Structure 1
Amino acid sequence: MTEPVFRLQDVDVTVKQGTLAATKILKGINFDIYEGDFITVLGTNGAGKSTLFNAIAGNLQLSHGHILHHGTDITQKSPVERTDYIARVFQDPKMGTAPRMTVAENLLLAEKRGAKRRLRGRNLSKEKLAQYRELTQTMGNNLDTRLQTATGNLSGGQRQALSFLMATLVKPELLLLDEHTAALDPKTSEQLMTTTNQQVTQNQLTALMITHNLADALKYGNRLIVLNAGDIVLDVRNEEKAKLSEEQLLKYFIA
């Protein structure tokens, strides 16, 4: 197997260190992420799922261990520095977009991710608008008709779809999907999940997706991990993953 894109080595995360309330959330995590992996992440509340994402993205300092990117230690890199190669879509549709900027302006901002240039104006060419119209049509929720609408005036589903497009417009080396459909109604959630799978598969993105939906965890991706009390207790891929049932997964959800 080829070298991983990201490697977590003996990663511990303890919150409130040095106090009586100190709690170890991640416990010696060793985890390799390979190019093209689409990994669904399961676990009970408090299992460490969001902490894992925050550690990878640099939003939480490690108590012990290292995170490597193509073999280079990025443990001390800031979240801003990591946005050059890591993108994230959050559960809350309000996060990840600028509410006063239009849909098109948000996409232009996302297009500059990792670049040194700044936005020089808010007028977009007809060619650029046509490009964004074609892009937003792939989401299937009329986002393409709202390019000149302030993002704060979108529906939750449209705003989350925009967040997804912004995260993937410049192909990231790792896409973190942090329960990105959880705040949506069932129909909108299913639509975004279907589109997510299409985009990740067609564009060969490397992605981790937290979900509480056992059926989605089994249906999507080539790999599945289960976290329990800060440990990875299951890590399966391909044929082994395909053989799993929801009933078998339930046994890992121990109180």
Structure 2
Amino acid sequence: MTNTNAILSLKNVTVKVRSDNGSETEILKNFNLDVADGDFITVLGANGAGKSTFFNVIAGTLPADSGQIFHAGQDITSVSAEKRTAFLSRVFQDPKMGTSPRMTVAENLLLAAKRGEKRRLLPRHLNSKMADFERITAAMGNKLDQRLNTATENLSGGQRQALSFLMATYKKPDILLLDEHTAALDPKTSAELMQKTAQRVNEDHLTCLMITHRMDDALKYGNRLIVIDNGAVSHDFNRDEKAALTKDKLFSFFDAEA
């Protein structure tokens, strides 16, 4: 039985990788997690713990060997990654992965506005969207609104990642995956993007899972924190339990996993 109140559920999900000699290694091991509507979950784990595999399975870019995945109570285990974009968005660590480099900022946002829709040969109506694009880019506070007609490849790393975030959240997805989306940025730009991230997640009541290695961010943001160890959830802290955590306590999880 799946939790009918969960927007996302993973039930006994196992993922294996197979080497050239035929041996198998389990990356996720009977992985279980229920995510409530509106949860903002920070995800911690040592390298190789299974964090990226966890996100890839949710996004549909990696199939589960066993178990089930549910979205709003519907089994999506066999649903393609392309079809999952109708309700799921993801921002990667590399600012170059979420945008089309030779398209302008406005053109990239127009792609986001049509995310999950059937592609048809229709006029773009780009001009009719410009006021909205200017409004949402201005909210980022990094002068992105002044570069709507600039090719994305000519943006700074922070502006490009901000654009990736805006594209991912433009249609208010049911599930937002942030895959270390500030890790490649300098501390000041990272802090600014995290502040805008939390603001948008809260204002739009987005359900968000965020992988991070920044302990300060893990403690500061979100209403829930999970630790992934050896392919499963080893700790799951609610809002009150999370508020009582310290960086030393978080580091102790990694010491135990070493």
Instruction: Decide: shared fold, TM above 0.5.
Output: yes
Tell me, in whole angstroms, the C-alpha distance in 2 between the residues paired with 1:237 and 1:194. 21
Q: Residue in 2 aligned with 1:168?
A: 169
TM-score (norm 2): 0.94
Change (3 A) 1:118 1:98: farther
Task: Determine the structure 2 residue equivalent to 1:35.
Answer: 37
TM-score (norm 1): 0.95
1:131 — aligned with what? 132
Checking the alignment, whether the CA contact within 8 Å between 2:32 and 2:232 is kept in structure 1 is no
Which portions of structure 1, spanning 4 or more consecutive aligned residues, are displaced by more than 3 angstroms? 17-21, 117-123
Matches of 1:161 and 1:19 in 2, distance apart?
43
Q: How does 1:149-228 map to 2 (within 5 A)?
A: 149-228=150-229
Cα shift at 1:178: 0.2
Distance in 2 between residues matched to 1:159 and 1:119, nearest whole Å: 28
1:122 Cα deviation from its structure 2 partner: 5.6
Distance change >3 Å, CA 45–CA 74, structure 1 → 2: same
Q: Relative to structure 1, is the Cα distance of residues 106 and 86 closer, same or farther in structure 2, using a 3 angstrom cutoff? A: same
2 CA distance for matches of 1:42 and 1:119?
Answer: 43
- The yes-or-no answer on 1:74 pairing with 2:113 is no
Report the alpha carbon displacement of residue 118 of structure 1 after superposing the two structures with TM: 3.4
Alignment gaps of 5+ in structure 1: none
Which of 5, 12, 17 is the aligned partner of 1:10? 12
The letter of the residue matching 1:179 is E
Choose from 88, 113, 116 the match for 1:114. 116
CA distance in 2 between counterparts of 1:140 and 1:18 reads: 49
Aligned residues: 254
Cα 1:213–1:59 shift into 2, 3 Å: same
Structure 2: stretches of 5+ with no match in the other structure: none
Tell me the secondary structure at the aligned position of residue 94 of structure 1: helix
Give the aligned partner of residue 104 of structure 1.
Answer: 106
Equivalent residue letter for 1:87: S
